[in-house]
Amino acid sequence: MPDRLPEAFYNWLVELRRWFHRFPEPAYREKKTAAKICEVLDSLGIPFQAGIGKTGIVAKLNAQRSGPVVAFRCDMDALPLEEAHEVPYKSQHQGCMHACGHDGHMTIALGVIRWLLEKDWPQKGSGAIIFIFQPAEEGGAGAKAMLETGVFDSLPIEAVFAGHLYPELAAGDIGIAPKISNAAADTLTIRLQGRGGHGAHPHQCKDPIVAGAHLVTQLQTLISRELPPLESAVLTIGRFEAGTASNIIPEEAFLEGTLRTLSPEIREKIIMRLQQMAKGLELSHNVAATLQITPGYPVLVNDPKLVKHTQDVAGEVLGGDHVHSLQPRMGAEDFAYFCEKWGGIMVGIGCHDPSKGMQHGLHSPYFDFDETVLDIGTRLFGQVLTRYLEKSLATST
């Protein structure tokens, strides 16, 4: 296999990626993005269904011979973030930016389709590949929304693959967690009801700010003092709102945060302790505390067989020293819903320029990536998907 795609193919990928980057759209509002994807699919002669889970697209590439069915997923939405990076393809949509690499993910998916066509896979291969262009990964559970439409119910999908740009890895490298890839995430909302009054007369009040400050500090001990040292969890309070003036003790305070865990047992333990701490706050500070837990994305578990397969193929395509084993990431990823249904794998795709090192992380207003990863991702996943189908067909016959 050649080390690089033909120049015209690579330039097509770069042009596509830069178009997506210029016109980012937030969750469930990816109308222009979806229209562009449909336009490209039409130009390649690929049948598809649009409007799945609001703005999602499902395309299917069939081989002439029957065989197994696999899926490849990419996400389409951008972040509510003003881009600070001055590049010719800078976001033209104010307050919105592709700062998590989804522009690259969509481009690679379309690149894989073109790669398959140029390799004559429909004529030479067996089975089918479903391409899932998913909305609303950034907190909107677009994967769940697409599954709930029933569009996949008649498709005997054996396995689902996905890639995500990882700026801590260099372009040309990939990383795969051997089992747990991404944490589960829950949202915490805490309402503290006190008694307001004059700042000069605190004894006549029940101060929810002081109670909330004590709670924020106390919550830090849940991870550092109540979990085994080798277990992982992250508890973050990202919002603390109370008060209207410097000399008024307010009636209420609101706290909001996230809990990220890697196992159901740890999650249940921390939630139980959160409930106990809320009750303790009522006793120690004489305020009413209401705790609400909103479940988020589940734990993303990589299928061990798909891990082995992908590592083997990547070793041939990229070289064994470019394939790394990763620890779980505490960020959540709704690809987990697809993995729960079919079994799947999330592959971390290195994307920083090796000569510069990592510059900016995901969700940074300066985030960008080395566009050679578009070539690398296209060739890698083209091989991963087709070889899996070949292996699965051989095993079943």
Mean pLDDT per block of 10 residues along the chain (397 residues) reads: 85 98 98 98 98 98 96 98 97 98 98 98 97 97 98 97 98 97 97 98 97 95 90 95 98 97 94 95 96 96 98 97 97 97 98 95 98 98 97 81
Residue 264: its H or E element: helix 264-285
Question: Per the structure block, which two tokens stand in for 223?
Answer: 């991870």
What was the pLDDT predicted at 3?
A: 79
Question: Per the structure block, which two tokens stand in for 22?
Answer: 């210029």
DSSP letter at 363? T
What was the pLDDT predicted at 394?
A: 83
Contact between 73 and 333 (Cβ < 8 Å) = no
φ, ψ at 264 (rounded to 5°): -60, -35
Question: Per the structure block, which two tokens stand in for 358?
Answer: 């990592």
What was the pLDDT predicted at 357?
A: 92
What was the pLDDT predicted at 393?
A: 84
Say whether 332 sits in a helix, a strand or coil.
Answer: coil
Q: For the chain, what is the largest distance between any 2 Cα atoms, rounded to a whole number of angstroms?
A: 82
Say whether 188 sits in a helix, a strand or coil.
Answer: strand
- The Cα 187–Cα 167 span in angstroms is 26
